Structure 1
């Protein structure tokens, strides 16, 4: 080959070779984004080296040979530039679609085919001539139809890439101003150079200054990569890291206006995602958190707990405030991180409730053991002693008849106590299941009236009911029976002679059946009413000194809640008491 080296060609050869070495180095050591930049530098290196050899060629045939090599770089350079911009702006998903990538590859492949087969059709170049009237031989190209088509493709990809970069940095904060300027200036340089060449403004004759401009572009972006660490911080890491975080982040300028944020911030605000946040003052975003706003305005750095009602749900979060005022930053900035603690708070509340529940169960267990040790043991010991005395003829028939009523009361009390303890213990067993079923409420109530009839007869108490035969409920039959038994037992216990107990049932809204047991007995004092159903041991003597355990109503409340029902009471001292039970009907 015959070469006539000149200054322009040697400059292109030198910088083209340097670009090629850097392209290989960057591609091997860089991330996916930097690798696309390395491929773009590789395309530029091929163009520059081959163009330098073209400018140093002395014959037309040799120059055309290097032009064919140049187009390996020229055809792929806009494509690699566009793919680099897509990756830089975190839009890799676009070119990862096979159809989109195929569409992008059609133009470069067709261009190479047109250039290499141009002598057969002259669609890319109408004519190519070598001129020797300058300081060195130069080729003049007469563009063909495909040349203009490729030029449109070239500019279209350059324009799309520049738009992506401009849109990327348009809303970025001033912390990264130097990085932004370097890449924006670098992106515009090839435009200026190529437009100048195509417009006929050619200070160097027929020499195309576009590859020189691309060399400068590459080195400016390279400066951004290693001087300003362009790809180590925002904007590349921003979408890769901040946008994937559950924590909310926002950056404030020295006037406490929002200049950047991530999408997770919306979960802490009562704002829709189409509402503007950039430019708003921190007080406008958090109008109900004046302490938080004041701390930011005062330059506070640290953490504080907060809560807010967002979309009808109370959320708990921790705000960490960091004031940045380092020498490397032009202005003071505040970074705020909001960490959602709702789940942790709920877990803590659940744990606290479980601890309280466990404490109540333990207290109830201790109370039951105390009752077993005292109240249950006492009547049994008395019964045992009396039976011994009877067996040894130490008690006469008349004496036995006198003490038998009290003995009967003790046995009834002991039986009721044992029954309640056994049922409660059974309900607390691990794996205990509630066996809900449909049952006739009237039958249960009649059975319980008959059960308490002897005790009521002794006190001359009338027990009436107004319950229709087909009143149906859906619950655990045994639990419901225990609840009704305890309430009737209390009514009998706290009624004077000649009192009346009335039991009624009526359907309520929401598919519930309401059973009320009303008596006109002594009533319940207000102080005692406040303690009922609150896991407190409330035990009072009946009108004829009948003893109580204090367990019955607690068990009733527990059993009704397990069956999705309720129990309530109303009373007036001297006028009587009404207990009402709501039980599902299963409709």
Structure 2
């Protein structure tokens, strides 16, 4: 190969070689936008060096050879510029997958293949000939369809990349202005140079000044890297950090207008759109937060807690205000950090509720052990002593008959106590399940009334039921049976002779059947009623000195909650008590959300 080096060729070769050397250094420096910038330098270096040798060549074949090498840089330069702009503007999601990158590379690969094989189809160049119009030989081209398609592709990528940079830099902070200007000016230079070449404005003949323009572009951006620390304090990196923060940040100017914020802050602004936040005064964004606004207006730095009411919800917030008026800053500014304490407060309340519940369970457990140790032991010991006395002929049969009613009451009390303790204990087991089914409420009520008729007749108490047949409910029948049994047993216990107990059912609006058990017995005081279902109430004796365990209502409440129901009571001292048992009518269907 023979070369006749001229000024333009030497400039391109030297600058191109320097660009190739720097491209390796930049590529190894970091990832992201910096790496794409290194690849862009590589493409430009290949184009410049090869075009320099083309300009130093004197034969058409030798020029074609270097043109083929040039296209390795020409075809990849716009795509590397586009990827660089995408990363720099924070839109890296477009090129995260190898599939997307491969799609973008289709046109450059096809263009290179068409240029290399042009002599077989002439799709890229219709014709190539040697021009001697200038001071040195150059190639004159007649573009083909492939050349025009690639040119359009070239400009589209340059335009999209430039638009991304322009949009991004318009939103960037003032501290990045020098960086922004250097990149935007650098991006315009290849446009001007290439458009001039394509429009025929060629003061140097057939000399393509585009590679010279790209060298200038790269030098300007390279200057930005070291002079303005372009990639050390990259705006994208700053915004990525702020966007990853869960705490909200906003920056106010000296007029208390929002000039910057992060994504986490957006949730506190209600229905305001992103373009409606910048420029608004803090009083417009949080009109009801007088304390926050006053602290900011008076330039008071510090932390304060507040509750923000927004269209998207209520937030417990700790606002950390920092007023900046240091000499290093040209303008005064206020930075406010919003730390969302809603979940922390919720978890704290939840932990406290669990602690209170655990304390109540421990107190109830202690009470149950106390009952077992005292109330359960006493009747059994009495029964054991009576049996010993009978076996030793200490008492006669007639004397035994006299104490038999008392023993019978003790045994009945002991049975009820054991049943309630057993049912409560089983309900507290983690693996204890329930067997919900549809059953006839009236049939179950009749069976329970029949069970209690002997004890009701003994006190001359009348039980009236008015539950319509066919009223079905959906629950664990055994559990509801235990609840009804406890309430009927209590009603009989606390009714005077000659009283009446009414049992009836009504429908509620929330899809439940409400079973009511009403008596006109001695009733309960408001204090006793308030602690009826939590196990804190002290058991009292019935109208004929019947003993109670104090656990029955705890079991009833536990069973009703587990059946998606409820239980409540109203009572007036001296007039009677009414219990309301709310039972689901149908199976509860959980909708998929």
- For residue 359 of structure 1, what is the aligned residue in structure 2? 359
Equivalent in 89, 93, 107 of residue 103 of structure 1: 107
Q: Could you say what secondary structure the match of 2:548 adopts?
A: coil
- For residue 178 of structure 1, what is the aligned residue in structure 2? 178
Query: Cα distance 1:140–1:326, how it changes in 2: closer, same or farther (>3 A)?
Result: farther
Q: Note if contact 2:323-2:334 (Cα within 8 Å) is conserved in structure 1.
A: yes
**Whole-angstrom CA distance in 1 between matches of 2:196 and 2:71:** 20
Deviations 1:13-34 (A, max 9, x none): 3322222210122123331422
Deviation at 1:461, TM superposition (A): 1.8
Q: Note if contact 2:71-2:112 (Cα within 8 Å) is conserved in structure 1.
A: no
1:30-429 matched pairs, under 5 angstroms: 30-53=30-53, 69-92=69-92, 94=94, 96-97=99-100, 98-107=102-111, 109-111=113-115, 114=118, 123=126, 125=128, 128-132=131-135, 137=136, 139=138, 141=140, 144=143, 152-195=152-195, 208-237=208-237, 241-243=241-243, 248-271=248-271, 276-297=276-297, 307-308=307-308, 314-316=314-316, 330-336=330-336, 338=338, 342-389=342-389, 403-429=403-429
Deviation at 1:84, TM superposition (A): 2.4
**Whole-angstrom CA distance in 1 between matches of 2:262 and 2:566:** 48
Provide the aligned length of Structure 1 versus Structure 2.
582
- For residue 554 of structure 2, what is the aligned residue in structure 1? 554
Q: Could you say what secondary structure the match of 1:123 adopts?
A: strand
Q: Note if contact 2:249-2:265 (Cα within 8 Å) is conserved in structure 1.
A: yes
Q: Which moved more, 1:478-487 or 1:402-411?
A: 402-411
Query: Cα distance 1:138–1:283, how it changes in 2: closer, same or farther (>3 A)?
Result: farther
- For residue 486 of structure 1, what is the aligned residue in structure 2? 486
Deviation at 1:180, TM superposition (A): 1.0
Q: Which moved more, 1:396-405 or 1:157-166?
A: 396-405
**Whole-angstrom CA distance in 2 between matches of 1:537 and 1:296:** 54
- Contiguous gaps of at least 5 residues in structure 2: 588-593
Q: Note if contact 1:128-1:142 (Cα within 8 Å) is conserved in structure 2.
A: no
- For residue 15 of structure 1, what is the aligned residue in structure 2? 15
**Whole-angstrom CA distance in 2 between matches of 1:312 and 1:45:** 54
**Whole-angstrom CA distance in 2 between matches of 1:414 and 1:142:** 111
Deviation at 1:342, TM superposition (A): 4.8
Deviation at 1:267, TM superposition (A): 3.7
Query: Cα distance 1:301–1:207, how it changes in 2: closer, same or farther (>3 A)?
Result: farther
1:428-577 matched pairs, under 5 angstroms: 428-577=428-577
Deviations 1:409-460 (A, max 9, x none): 3333233222222221222234211122333333433333333333323322
Q: Which moved more, 1:436-445 or 1:146-155?
A: 146-155
Deviations 1:96-124 (A, max 9, x none): 4344431354445545655x889999625
Provide TM-score, normalisation by structure 1: 0.84
**Whole-angstrom CA distance in 2 between matches of 1:41 and 1:328:** 36
The RMSD of aligned alpha carbons is 3.8
- Contiguous gaps of at least 5 residues in structure 1: none
Deviation at 1:184, TM superposition (A): 0.9
Q: Which moved more, 1:445-454 or 1:567-576?
A: 445-454
Q: Note if contact 1:118-1:125 (Cα within 8 Å) is conserved in structure 2.
A: no
Deviation at 1:370, TM superposition (A): 1.3
